[in-house]
Each structure stands twice: as C-alpha cells, then as structure tokens.
Amino acid sequence: MSAPWPPLILEGDNLPHLRELEAGSVQMIYTDPPFNTGKVQARRRVSTVPAIDGGDRTGFGGRRYTTRLLAESSYKDVFDDYLGFLTPRLEEFWRVLHPTGTLYLHLNYLEAHYVKLLLDELFGRESFLNELIWAYDYGAKTKGRWPQKHDTILVYVKDPRGYYFDSEAVDREPYMAPGLVTPAKVKRGKLPTSVMWHTIVSPTGREKTGYPTQKPERLVRRFVQASSREGDLVVDPFAGSGTLGAVAGKLGRRSILMDQNPEAIRVMRERLEP
C-alpha cells in the first residue's frame, strides 16, 4: 500500500547520503542499524498451491499442498569494529538534527550498553532522554536462560533544553489493570511508557513485507507522533523495509529512507512508491 506522502528512497552507503543533508534539517531520526549478532539474518517467503502429487504439507481439513519458495532475503549482520562503523554515522546524525530534533536508535542487548557510552560522548549525557524497551513475546524460547524478548531504543535529543516532544499527539493504549483507574481514564487510555509491549509484525498480516527485520508500524508511529510535527523531515539511514516512511507518509511528514541492500530498496519501492 502506498503512503499518502511518498518518501525519498536513496540506495547505497548511508554515510555519503548523510553528508549531503543540510545541517539542522532533520527533525527526527529513527533507525535500526544491523545488530552485530555475528549471524546471517534471513527470511524465506513461500507460497502454497494445491498438491497434484502428494505435496509437502497438510492444511485445513487434511488437504495436501506443495510449497514453492518465492524469495529469500538476507544480510550479513557482523562487523569487526561495530563502534568504528557506527561512529561517523552517529556524528552525522548529530549534525543533521534540528536543534529541536530527536534520535531514536534501535539496538539489541548485545550492543546497547556500548553504543550508549558512545552516544553519551558524542551527544552529551545531558542529551540522553530515554531508554525505551520494546517487549514482545514471539519466537523460540530457550530453556538454558531467561528468553530474550526485547530490544532497546536509545533516545537522544540535540538540545536538552529545547527539544520537541508532544505527548498529547501520541496514540493512547489500554490500561493493563483497568480496574485500578476511573472509567474516564479507561475510556481515554494511557500514554505509552518507556516499556512498550507490542507484538512483532504478524507473519500472516497485511503489514508484512517479508523483510527479515521489519518493525511494527504502531511502534514507530508513537515516536513520529511525539517527536515531529506535520510537514517535518524524518530520516531512517538503515531503512530496511521502510516502516518509518510508511508511518511518516500517513502522518503528513516528509521522509528520506536510505539502505545499501538492493533487497531493501526493492521492498521499500513496492511498499511505498505510487
């Protein structure tokens, strides 16, 4: 589905693209860089057709189907010097952010603490606004330790005395214990907190693109609503499936999406361009 306000999609290394942006021109950056897990992230997309010769899977009512591989997208998620890779890009993030602007940097537990120290140095500790936790309950569960079911989103502002944040613009959500608050509050809902419970993108939902690291629109929508205004420019330098562009267009923001993976560019264009 095309966004009402299509994004500008830039292919290639994001560093040269960032250096071409005017200083102070970006109101918000949300980005989900490679997590440096040391693994190849991949997602297979398949279709099923009624079987003629027995098939390879059973569906509803015992019917047999044959599976066909449509596409397989992947990227190598490993760097010898992860912080060395991120540092010049984080420096550009700070440069291009507007004085009222905000950075949302989406990371996993392996790198978040290292990157926070780097951001404290580049942005200043006083510019650290929040550590957000995106909690979900989906996928495999190990029995040898506590199952890892959250990502970390570090939030930094350009100017801790002048940043923009509009909590009233954010979609509210149901109370987890509605019996503890008044009926009026139940009806209105509550502002999301720093721990955000939200499922991953449904493997069978309309929002799914097949890209392996796609993030839910409702999660990113909160950040765009809170930290930008209609008409503002928002940027994702590691855009992947283009979720920021999808959200930004629907909320009347301009957006620039960057990625060097041809598969990501293909997915974004199919998802977002008219």
Question: Can you give the CATH number for the domain in which 264 is found?
Answer: 3.40.50.150
* Mean pLDDT score across all residues of the chain: 83
Q: How much is the pLDDT for 84?
A: 87
- Rounded Cα distance between 187 and 161, Å, is 34
Higher pLDDT, 3 or 125: 125
- Rounded Cα distance between 13 and 146, Å, is 36
142 pLDDT tier (thresholds 50, 70, 90): confident
Across the range 237-250, mean pLDDT stands at 94
- Exposed, middle or buried by CB within 10 Å (0-12, 13-18, 19+), for 97? buried
207 pLDDT tier (thresholds 50, 70, 90): low
| Lowest mean per-residue pLDDT among 13-17, 56-60, 240-244 | 56-60
Query: What's the pTM value of the predicted model, to 2 decimals?
Result: 0.80
Position 14 in a domain: yes
Position 101 in a domain: yes
Position 188 in a domain: yes
Structural domains of the chain, count: 1
Coil/strand/helix, residue 235:
strand
Position 57 in a domain: no
Q: For the chain, what percent of residues have pLDDT higher than 90?
A: 59
Position 102 in a domain: yes
Q: Which domain holds residue 40?
A: 8-51+62-272
Cα dihedral 218, 216, 4, 33 sign: positive
Position 3 in a domain: no
Position 227 in a domain: yes
Position 197 in a domain: yes
